[in-house]
Amino acid sequence: MGTATSSMAAKFAFFPPDPPSYNIIVDEASGKMKFSDVNYQRDNVDVLKLRTRRGNEIAAMYVKNPSASLTVLYSHGNAADIGQMYQTFFELSVHLNVNLLGYDYSGYGQSTGKPSEQDTYADIEAAYKCLEETYGVKQEDTILYGQSVGSGPTLELAIRLPHLRAVVLHSPILSGLRVMYPVKRTLWFDIYKNIDKISLVDCPVLVIHGTEDEVVNFSHGKRLWELCKEKYEPLWLKGGNHCNLELYPEYLRHLRKFISAIEKLQRPRNVSDLKPEDQSDQTLNNADQNKEKSRPSTDSKDKGRPSFGHREKSRLSTDSRDKARANIDKREKSRWSIDRHMKARNSTDHSEKARNSLDRLGDMVRSVGLCNVDCLKQTAAEV
């Protein structure tokens, strides 16, 4: 049963466009690679082929913005490839004033191999290595952006980059199995166990989700935001579904505000220093947050616990400061454990009520295309 379910989860997780939306050719004049099937060729776009540690060759594109100080590594959703995302990537680079690297997973577009969970992890590693070695980008200046199924490789990489600048999760999933089943705990054969990884991310996290998402329930994004260690004001787009969030004016506006706040950070700082002045009641409410600067963790335990802006009084002796910190740790761990338990129970109960019939489950399985920007044009065909 476990093996069969695991195979089913893997089978329904990946839907590469067939045929691919683009081809890669070599320009005779410049000798550079370019896409042959995009409407507008851009001089500031590099087309790349990257070798992964699992032996596949993946296609990627890098959009250069000469005035940018930050770089976005974008992992797109299912049922799309970078040919379809070409214009979106270019516009995000312009409007957010960032460099942007987008890549195709193994088996997508002009990438070789077949898609799998482990291959997508190797794919994003190759993309990040390219940023470091080819473009000289540091992790302190990198923002990981994961859309839908792309939230899986995004969080896998995020937990291994201790100095990462920020993470954006766009219509993210709690796990592959949880898209189809209202499971209450993580099972060994599940894929993309984001629910278990999110609390290990040390940098600020922005979560974006539509409240009427018919593919990945809104509860997925909400729960991930609740489990974030460094929360940024989330964007819950009322009426938004899985494929149309880019069409909302608030989408680009909120992303710009987030990028602006991240740029002002003197890396690294506590998330409380980047809270917008008009933050919603969903964000942290401690009055002292904007005054406190993060302090470097002195041991591995400090990294693991949530940061809620507790201030220590200055000029305390070393002994009294250690005692105060120990008391705070004890209270935080207790409260965090209780809150996490209650929120997880409420979230799973809600999901169970929403998808409690076998017929509904069948509909969900058929709809797990986890579509991306291309379904803005063909929603009925993709879902």
Strand ranges across the sheet with 166-170: 45-51, 57-63, 99-103, 71-75, 142-147, 166-170, 205-210, 235-237
The catalytic position among 219, 242, 347, 351 is: 242
Task: Find the farthest-apart pair of alpha carbons in the chain and give their distance in angstroms, rounded.
Answer: 71
**Residue of 213, 219, 254, 272 marked catalytic:** 213
Cα 200 from Cα 178, distance rounded (Å): 20
Residue of 93, 148, 175, 219 marked active site: 148
- At residue 185, φ and ψ (nearest 5 deg) are -145, 160
Among 195, 197, 246, which residue's Cα sits nearest to residue 371?
Answer: 246
Annotated active-site residue 148? The verdict is yes
Helix (H) or strand (E) holding 13: helix 2-13
Q: Kind and range of the H or E element at 304?
A: helix 300-304
242 labelled catalytic: yes
Evaluate whether 368 touches 215 at the Cβ level (below 8 Å).
Answer: yes
The answer to whether 24 and 34 are in contact (CB under 8 A) is yes
CA distance 1 to 311: 51
Helix (H, G, I), strand (E, B) or coil at 42: coil
Of residues 356, 368, 383, the one with CA closest to residue 183: 356
C-beta pairs of 37-45 under 8 Å, 24+ apart in sequence: 37/83, 38/83, 38/86, 38/87, 39/87, 40/87, 40/90, 42/90, 45/86, 45/90
CA atoms within 13 A on the CB side of 262: 32
Query: Beta strands 57-63 and 45-51: pairing type?
Result: antiparallel
Task: Please give the C-alpha separations between residue 100 and each of 72, 86, 92, 119, 226, in angstroms, as whole numbers.
Answer: 5, 11, 8, 21, 28
CB count within 10 Å of CB 263 equals 16
- Active-site annotation, residues: 148, 213, 242
